[in-house]
Amino acid sequence: MPRVYRPYIPQTLGDLLDKLAALMLDSPTFVDRTGYFPGKNLETSVGALNEGLRVMRCELGEARYRKLMELSDQMRAYFEADPEDIGDAKKGRALILEMEDLITGRTAP
């Protein structure tokens, strides 16, 4: 029976930061090359991030939550447009850094 991949949904601000770090490392395709997580991909990875943002919505505040969701959508579009990592993926990684700054409070929403 094949292994089912269930992405971890961040539950704390620290978990969100960890998820963003993992996204940075796994971008732009998010495919697990080891075969241990066969269902891992862009959709499941960004979906887990977005679900974590929803979990933390009250703690983040509405303005920060909306900005983070907007950045997540833009990030996903950049990674989808550049799976070979030759152009727009760099813009997606820059958005990950911007999201980290928003979560930590280094920048305002």
**Per-residue model confidence (pLDDT) at position 17:** 97
So where are the chain's domains?
13-104
Can you tell me the mean pLDDT for 54-60? 97
Model pTM score:
0.91
- CA distance linking residue 30 with residue 46, whole number of Å: 9
For 10-21, b where at least 16 C-beta lie within 10 A, e where not — what string? beeeeebeebbe
**Percentage of residues in the chain having pLDDT higher than 70:** 98
